[in-house]
Structure 1
């Protein structure tokens, strides 16, 4: 889809963000609906503040100047299950916490869902991380706490895998190693 562009959130005013809505109305589970409401609220009311305070960075994807999606990232540390470390060959003696780039929010406006924009936006996010983060600091994983309804997108399309056994509030802790991210971008 041509015409898609990524911008820092500072390129969009609060008024432009208020039209965003990721709830497509297909899920009646109250906890999922509440999560969608929280995602919308964050973008509309909190993302600019988090960005200016360097708590998290949000980027928006636009299509001919219309907001179609956004993602928010931050950095963190995580522990990894031994089996995951062994399978992914992330084994360093004496290291118990691994540096991560965490996808805090990743959402597509309901008017644009199902059009492949999420795949394009994830590839853009990965490219930003490889080109602007990995080259300047140590990072082992790209992680996301995925809603159960969104987990198949991360797992089936991008091969994210569970990296620990916790499942917080109906979310799955998923990860890709940076090596895997780089391989995805090469294809």
Structure 2
């Protein structure tokens, strides 16, 4: 059994697509996301969503829009145990933990909310910033490279997976990742073995 008790996942590009515009009708689960979350929950692993606070600018979704998108994501993929908001600004990335994109504060807040030490939390992130924030918080980071991730960032990441489902299978099979690239090509039905009494 994995020693990871919580998995926090970047929302955009790993869990869902279409959420950044603020229209809940455009939100779609990423293929494999529902299966990955089902695997985690069947093993008693708690799940959380990481979102990024948008920069203040015209045309950005309102707080009400974001709440509706969150509700839609919960309908499609929930329930989630925690939702943490990471800053989008680059201020503070030079070592100030107060506001930068790699600041560990939101992850530590989520750890506190779930009464779970960071070393028992894994973060599946779509960017270098997410996995660096995990490292700074003392959690395990796995990069699922999004379209904006440069090849050198992927090469520098300690742990990389092609998608959320592969990352989750690796975590459940062997616990916190030890290898650089996580690969698992088994069919989902072979990996999906709920614990006794789970639905």
**Structure 2 length-normalised TM:** 0.28
Structure showing the higher strand proportion among its residues: 1
Higher RCO (CA < 8 A, seq sep 6+): 2
